[in-house]
Amino acid sequence: MTQAATNAATEAVTPAIRVRGLTKRYGDVHAVAGIDLDVRQGEVFAILGPNGAGKSTTVEILEGYRTRDSGEVSVLGSDPGRPTRLWRSRIGIVLQTANDAAELSVRETLRHFAEYYPRSRNVDELIELVGLTESASKRVRQLSGGQRRRVDVALGVIGRPELLFLDEPTTGFDPEARRQFWELIEGLAHDGTTIVLTTHYLEEAEALADRVAVVARGRVVALGDPATLGGRATAKAKVTWSDGSVETDTPTQTVLELSARYGGEVPGLSVTRPTLEDVYLRLIDPA
């Protein structure tokens, strides 16, 4: 293998984020108590956890906004504890709340921030990407909450980041606006952007994330894809019908037996496995 091929192969398997033994204390409180995780290049990675679990502190350390007490952290091959201007240009951040230039138009706002980056996106193309073409000349203060959030995302990706952090991006959205926002994020991921997402909406993590980490008590208590997280895919199924219910490892056999008993159609039949919410609640409160 040539050196170029070796370098390319190494780059392909090097995670966008690598964390080992991360800790952070505030007085006597262990906000982060030894987190290990990898985020692969090009994936959407969701971090879930209750308030006070340590997820926000962890993400702020990854973004270079907060210092750690101990542990090894690599974000795009660099230590975020020693951020450089070039490194910052390679990441995008969409905070939960943002103080924007409300009196500027959408186009004016994006043109202003585009000047901060060495290879910023074309502003008009970006406006189209985030679905704000018809609102490009409106002042930011005139936009709806969902539209303002699209401006936040546009600002987060205007510098063509390799890695995008999204902090509770759809808080306060109505269902339609949330679905539209998901389509935007899916488009960015399709273009190869690595995305780290924190959210309290479990359906959002299930819809968007390739993998999910559940953080509780300052540690990662579960990690995997949403469909199998916490043994979800292999958990007993619950078969319910009008006269009763049963939990079983063989739901198909149970349904066949019920069908024979009822001579065909089983009244009120449903077969369910634990939802992501069921698994999440068990993980954050194992007692």
Residue with tokens 């706002």: 109
* CA 35 – CA 25 distance, rounded (Å): 13
Dig out the tokens for 50 from the structure: 């209750």
Query: What is the pTM (predicted TM-score) of this model?
Result: 0.81
Q: For 53-97, what is each residue's pLDDT tens digit?
A: 898 899 999 999 999 999 999 999 999 999 998 899 899 998 766
Contact in structure between 214 and 280 (CB atoms under 8 Å): yes
Average pLDDT over the chain reads 88
Edge-to-edge order in the sheet of strand 91-94 = 91-94, 163-167, 194-198, 44-48, 211-216, 219-224
Domain ranges of the chain: 39-68+81-230, 234-277
Q: For 242-256, what is each residue's pLDDT tens digit?
A: 989 999 989 999 999
- Confidence band, pLDDT 50/70/90 cuts, at residue 287: low
pLDDT at 241 over 90: yes
3-state secondary structure (DSSP) of residue 128? helix
Domain 39-68+81-230 has CATH 3.30.1490.100: no
CA nearest to 277, candidates 202, 209, 223: 202
Residues near 7 by beta carbon (within 8 Å), at least 6 away in sequence: none
